[in-house]
Amino acid sequence: MLAPPKPEDWDAVRVPRVLGLTTLSILGSRSGAVVEDPAESALYWLIPAGTATSWAIDGTRIDTGHLSIPPLRRMQGPGPHWRMCPGDDQWLTDPGALAAALEDALDPQAPPPYDTCDWHAGPSGTARLVADVERSSGPGGRRYACAPCREQHGLTALAERQASS
């Protein structure tokens, strides 16, 4: 395994968790290493330093000097951990590919992120979009729920509501 790049060789792109999970599923094998920070409910991609000077994608930001790189094989918390382990040589993500995947993920028709349920905060093969959350300041977000959580909490998928109206 290669040593991590020096901090001056990369910038971190901070992405809210739900948007980040969708983006990661779109990027697939084109993604470099991804750090998940549960305390901030965010994912971070490492991109070559200076390549995001005109970064302007809603809900994301360049976050230099803040990110703590977890130990190489820490794949779960507590604390920051690898959502996508760097492997042997793929620390950095191409900023153009990341930007394109983020734009696709912001599309309202994007698939659910990694089939993750926001209600029980775990994986699910039945997660569906149930809420678009708007905020008066800052980015909004999307909430996904699996079939058992939708039933338990009386939630209806947005697609089902739109189809019946």
> Do residues 10 and 47 lie in contact, with contact meaning Cβ atoms separated by under 8 Å?
yes
Q: Kind and range of the H or E element at 145?
A: strand 141-145
d(CA 160, CA 165): 9
pLDDT digits (tens, 9 = 90+) for 141-157: 677 888 888 888 999 88
DSSP annotation of 108 = T
pLDDT at 109: 62
What the block records as the tokens of 63 is 């976050």
pTM listed for this prediction: 0.65
Average pLDDT over residues 30-44: 89
Domain map of the chain by residue range? 7-105, 116-164
Confidence grade of residue 2 (pLDDT, cut at 50, 70, 90): low
Q: Number of helices (H) and strands (E), helices first, in the chain? A: 4, 9
Residue type, 62: I
Average pLDDT over residues 47-62: 85
pLDDT at 121: 74
What the block records as the tokens of 50 is 């200076």
pLDDT digits (tens, 9 = 90+) for 120-145: 777 776 777 888 766 555 555 677 88
Average pLDDT over residues 72-88: 81
pLDDT digits (tens, 9 = 90+) for 99-125: 998 988 887 665 555 467 788 777 776
Q: Kind and range of the H or E element at 83?
A: strand 81-84
Q: Looking at the predicted structure, is the pLDDT value of residue 98 above 90?
A: yes
